[in-house]
Amino acid sequence: MSRSSASRAVRPLGLVLAAAVSVILANVAAADAPDRGSIVVTLADGTTVPLRNWSLSYEYSLYRQGTSPMSAPTARKEAADLFVGKRALPTTGQTLTIAYEGSRVKEITLAGADARKNTLKVEPPARDLLVASPQKGTAVMPRSLDLRGETVTGTRRDFCVLSYTMVVECGVTPADRVVKIEFQR
């Protein structure tokens, strides 16, 4: 076998090995994700969607003061806690209910198994909860709270739960509007 035919025989094996390594790395990355249990999402049309490997995903813009936040790049903060103003509220064992006025979120209620309800004003997360130590002269504009996770079949799902700005519109149709999230223990 000549040198050129030997190298051609190795290429397919190299592609197979590269594919195998990428599958292994994807499984390791999924295994490294925090196991927060599962949640059940209820939409306004009555559909329920169970999710695993979930996170509350806070989208925000980072921009220099004096420039427009609308054209600034966006970033995300993944968390298990519900950020309301300066508070980070734990979600484990809680049910989050979202009340609407028209197409905008009016209020949110966080209730535990002990039947205590905590009705909260929709308030954007504080800068310190989103960005640990922003550079001097940098401003932060929270944009939305999204819910991300996997269905039992492994399909990635993203739901826009609420908007902190007029730039983002969540839950336009009942099939997209999240009305309840049940966080399991």
Judge contact between 109 and 172, C-beta under 8 A. no
Residue 156 confidence class, pLDDT cut points 50, 70, 90? very high
Judged against a pLDDT cut of 60, whether residue 28 lies above it is answered with no
> What CA–CA distance (Å, rounded) separates 89 from 84?
8
Distances (CA, A) of 50 to 147, 154, 167: 12, 11, 29
Q: Where do the domains of the chain lie?
A: 1-32, 35-183
122-154: per-residue pLDDT in tens?
999 999 999 987 778 888 999 999 999 999 999
Q: Which pair of structure tokens corresponds to residue 77? A: 């903060």
pTM comes to 0.78
Judged against a pLDDT cut of 70, whether residue 25 lies above it is answered with no
Indicate the helix (H) or strand (E) that contains 22: helix 3-32
Lowest-confidence region among 7-11, 55-59, 164-168: 7-11
Judge contact between 40 and 46, C-beta under 8 A. no
Nearest-5° Cα angle at 127, 124 to 132: 140
